[in-house]
Structure 1
Amino acid sequence: MKRTNPPYVIGIAGSSGSGKTFFLNCFLDHFAPAEIALISQDDYYIPAHTKTREENKLYNFDLPTAIDRAAFYHDIQSLFNGRTIYRQEYTFNNPALTPKTLETKPAPILIVEGLFIFYYAEVNTLLNHRIFLHAEEDIALQRRLKRDLIERGYDEDDVRYKWEHHVMPAYRKYLLPFREQCDRIIINNTDDPVPIQAIVDEISADLRSKALKTL
């Protein structure tokens, strides 16, 4: 069954290590499950074994072509049309993890999250509100190292190589040019959660009055 009105769509993007995961979790906590839906670009990676290797045998996941762009857009459109979507969770090619089947139901508020959401013109045009998260490069790198070394068990040399040759070039080319077009730029250079929580409180209250006032 189609929705009478399209969802209010928020696009959230930022550099690796900018604190997107914490921001998103805080944001989702402000709403009931029936009020908000989240679709993440990360769940649409093309499997690594189908990609071309570089000379050093490291895959480059930080390119727009690393994402199944058509499937990503198709599922966004499905949520617009009131259809529940199902997608296999992306596990970052970790064989120790069993991917879950993710179910996302349509809701009056839709969050679209990912590095390329502003670069993909067909996705960008659907966004009602754009949020850009930023952290200084050295701070973002330390957060990336902590995540990849501890949580994902990656080799530090690989992480640093990808940061220099994949992550930052992609950020500068495919995301940074859209920064000044965003409605809200959030600087997140501290690990203190209080400032981010205060910003989320403000945005959520405003969003509730805009997107949920007729519910």
Structure 2
Amino acid sequence: MKPKPILVAVVGGSGSGKTWLCEKLCAALGRREARLSLDDFYRDRSHLPAARRARINFDHPRAIDWNLFEQVLRDCLAGKVTSVPRYDFKAHARHRGTRIFRPTSVVFVDGLWLLHRARLRALFGLTVFLRCPAKIRLERRLARDLLNRGRSAASVREQFRSTVAPMHEWFVEPQARWAQMVFNRVVGPPEVKMILECLHK
């Protein structure tokens, strides 16, 4: 009987290094596709006018389709092939169709609020929290959103000030109490090594 997959939660604020860390961990294990992102589970708002979609607070946990996310995690734990939505951040809506995800022995999951709900916390075999300075997180968010999401620098800064920063204090930072590993610095190769060593124990 195959062992149950291990789900690894990588949690932290926007721009904290979650994606980078998960990509490095996947590469180190030779499993580049063994990664899920909570970002793909934003609720589909395609039925709303574009102007209204743009006003939604995407930095609040209620923006996520939690039922679908939990089902995908449970499918992974059961070793089942599952379907994952694909989200378009420029349109604030889901792409048509889904992608097929085949869980491996270790699945890395990144997201802002993975530890926010107790019933989901129980599904993760290892939990990691990244505490990165706000200044660095904003710089990274600016670089990402200007390049990949069609945003202006002014709109990114305003969103960070008005919703990202306050929602971080309310919903992201408190999750550190539930993480097994907390990194109070910018993560790099040493942190990748520490997590891999923990997984190999």
Same fold (TM > 0.5) = yes
Letter in 1 for 2:150: G
CA RMSD of aligned residues (A): 2.8
Report the CA distance between 1:49 and its aligned residue: 4.2
Distance 2:125 2:175 in 1: 15
Map of 1:15 onto structure 2: 13
Report the CA distance between 1:179 and its aligned residue: 1.0
Aligned-partner SS, 1:202: helix
TM-score by length of 1: 0.81
Query: Does structure 2 retain, via aligned residues, the 8 Å contact 1:42–1:90?
Result: yes
- Give the one of 29, 32, 36 matched to 1:31: 29
Letter in 2 for 1:125: A
Change (3 A) 1:171 1:51: farther
Change (3 A) 1:163 1:51: farther
Distance 1:113 1:72 in 2: 12
Listed one character per residue, the Cα deviations across residues 105-132 of structure 1 (whole Å, up to 9, x for unaligned) are 1222122221111002221111222111
Listed one character per residue, the Cα deviations across residues 132-162 of structure 1 (whole Å, up to 9, x for unaligned) are 1121111211111111122222022221221
Distance 1:177 1:151 in 2: 29
- Return the index of the structure with the highest Cα Rg: 1
Aligned-partner SS, 1:58: coil
Report the CA distance between 1:33 and its aligned residue: 2.8
Letter in 2 for 1:166: T
Report the CA distance between 1:72 and its aligned residue: 0.3
Distance 1:144 1:45 in 2: 18
Map of 1:213 onto structure 2: none
- Spell out the pairing of 1:6-155 with structure 2 (5 A cutoff): 6-33=4-31, 37-49=34-46, 58-94=55-91, 101-155=98-152
Identity %: 26
Distance 1:112 1:185 in 2: 16
